[in-house]
Structure 1
Amino acid sequence: MTEADVELHGPARGEGPPRRYGPVAGVAVLSDVHANIPAFEAVLAEPDVAAADLVVICGDLTWGPEPQETYERIVALGERALCLRGNADRYAAQIGTAARVADTPRQSWIVARHSPEAITFLDRLPFGLVVEIEGLGPVHFCHGSPRSDHELVTPGTPSERFAELSAAIDARVLVTGHSHLQFDRTVAGLRSVNPGSVGLPYHTGEPGTAYWALLGPGVRLRTTRYDVGDAVARAHRAGDPEVDRYAGTLTNAPDPERIVAEAEELIFVN
């Protein structure tokens, strides 16, 4: 599938160019929390996250068992937290504002677990932002790619496609989420970083591992241990209609090599 074959989901109408922040010394980067509260709280409790000037969350805050609780913890971070729109956030906001109709029982269930304030928050999330970070310069953050929130960037993304998707950015470092894969590579003359997923990672490590990154003055890929049993139990108590699939991903994550192969074949995935 190519860009010509799909509807791109870039900045909202009237959003304008990415807002710029900084300079700052350090940024903690989290992505794809997917409403996994035990994982999210464990990462937020990390001293380096608490000490960071900013906490950038690269989308997909929601689409998991405890979205309202996730929203409340983000609000509690105050102005330090800069959140971006992921494809899951877009879906939840569209259904929650009646711009689209839920296709499955789980979609309806997830959206119903948001307060009106949380839906409004998701609906107003920006598509991208740029932070000037000491040692790295301007860093561009988004969820999928700089041209769509559902385009996958992986460790296997060819340089030609990467050059195309990053052509319009004014930065030497591009930080994306969406693929749930943690990596740091140089491609097409830019540094491509994904902090990995906090709440639903694809990895070969031990279950109960949350992935994130610390930026400034370099790039440090980090992991944090959390109680995966608690996360599964909370999903059961919440009544998640797809709790078995959710728990299976947490306890037996997909192999990254398979995910890269599938992602590079599909390119765009909601």
Structure 2
Amino acid sequence: MTTPRLGPVRRVAVLADVHGNVPALLAVLDDVHAAGADLIVFPGDLTWGPEPQTTLDLILELGSKAVCVRGNADRAVVELARGEREHTRPRDPWMPAQHTPEAVEFLAALPLNVVIDIEGLGAVRFCHGSPRDDTECVTPQTSTERFAELSEGVDEQVIVTGHTHLQFDRLIAGRRSVNPGSVGLPYHLGMPGTAYWALLGPDVRLRETRYDVQEAVDRCRMTGDPSGDAIVGLLLNPPTPDEIIADAETRVFAD
């Protein structure tokens, strides 16, 4: 699939790993609109959560202002809907049934990478896991050697990833590695009800938005999501960044 290239633009908001958390998404979008972003990039894992279709509807309402990248969970929805993936968890038959056929086709058409020319930063590459694989885990402790390997052949000096639900901004292997954190299911030390995102241009600004986590919990429990109890646990008592980093760096790839 050809990598879409957009820009130049002044300011880009980055909202990764929404995971079907509608209250968090709505709160962040309010802050994004106030910040005057020209584009809103969603680096994957849009709908795999309690309210998949509502989440996608909100993103589609943004029209051409929204730029979406494929995450491994988006790919999973498509594979499950098309019978290309075996059901191994209770959520597997439930999740694709929450998407319209049009939603499945939208997710199926998402690119693995998008490049946007941003004022002050130049060309920035957006992906979910890494430029080469939507399941690769990039963390604040990813080695110089592995980062050089996963970015081989990539021209852009700024690479924005998601997937690990950890917010960070670091220089590594001669490049800038940025993760905006997760909007809908962050792994963090902050208060429950904190959504994480980033604003790019002319520099990188890591942002946080408070939202009503009890509303998210209540809505999750009303949906019938088979993984609802686990999601509520992660919203109210998430794993720490150190726990996630240790696990991710051991596995490297996680679907």
Q: TM-score, normalised to structure 1's length?
A: 0.93
Q: Is the 8 A contact 1:27 1:215 kept in 2?
A: yes
The counterpart of 2:50, out of the listed 44, 50, 65, is 65
The counterpart of 2:195, out of the listed 206, 210, 214, is 210
Matches within 5 A, 1:22-101: 22-48=7-33, 51-101=36-86
User: Structure 1 75/161 Cα, relative in aligned 2: closer, same or farther at 3 Å?
Assistant: same
Q: Is the 8 A contact 2:13 2:198 kept in 1?
A: yes
Residue 126 of structure 1: aligned partner:
111
Q: How many angstroms does 1:170 deviate by?
A: 1.3
User: Structure 1 186/48 Cα, relative in aligned 2: closer, same or farther at 3 Å?
Assistant: farther
CA distance in 1, matches of 2:27, 2:187: 18
Q: How many angstroms does 1:47 deviate by?
A: 4.7
Residue 143 of structure 2: aligned partner:
158
Q: Is the 8 A contact 1:97 1:119 kept in 2?
A: no
Matches within 5 A, 1:223-242: 223-242=208-227
CA distance in 2, matches of 1:97, 1:135: 42
Q: Is the 8 A contact 1:44 1:50 kept in 2?
A: no
Please list the CA deviations of residues 6-42 of structure 1 after superposition, one character each: whole Å capped at 9, or x if unmatched.
xxxxxxxxx13x1111010000001000000000010
Residue 268 of structure 1: aligned partner:
253
Please list the CA deviations of residues 79-119 of structure 1 after superposition, one character each: whole Å capped at 9, or x if unmatched.
01000000000000111122223222211111111111111
Matched position secondary structure for 1:45: helix
Matched position secondary structure for 2:102: helix
The counterpart of 1:149, out of the listed 134, 140, 150, is 134
Task: Select between 236-245 and 136-145 the one with higher mean Cα deviation.
Answer: 236-245
Over the matched positions of the two proteins, sequence identity in percent amounts to 58
Runs of 4+ in 1 over 4 A off after TM superposition: 47-50
CA distance in 2, matches of 1:206, 1:99: 39
1:44 maps to amino acid: L
Q: Is the 8 A contact 2:13 2:32 kept in 1?
A: no
The answer to whether structure 1 residue 112 and structure 2 residue 107 are counterparts is no
Q: Is the 8 A contact 1:28 1:48 kept in 2?
A: no
CA distance in 1, matches of 2:117, 2:34: 18
Aligned residue pair count:
255
Please list the CA deviations of residues 109-151 of structure 1 after superposition, one character each: whole Å capped at 9, or x if unmatched.
1111111111111111111010000000000000000110000
**Structure 2: stretches of 5+ with no match in the other structure:** none
Q: TM-score, normalised to structure 2's length?
A: 0.98
* Superposition CA RMSD, Å: 1.0
Matched position secondary structure for 2:168: strand
Please list the CA deviations of residues 142-182 of structure 1 after superposition, one character each: whole Å capped at 9, or x if unmatched.
00001100000000000000000011211110000000000
Q: Is the 8 A contact 2:15 2:180 kept in 1?
A: yes
Matches within 5 A, 1:179-194: 179-194=164-179
Q: Is the 8 A contact 1:43 1:49 kept in 2?
A: no
The counterpart of 1:254, out of the listed 223, 229, 239, is 239
Q: Is the 8 A contact 1:49 1:55 kept in 2?
A: no
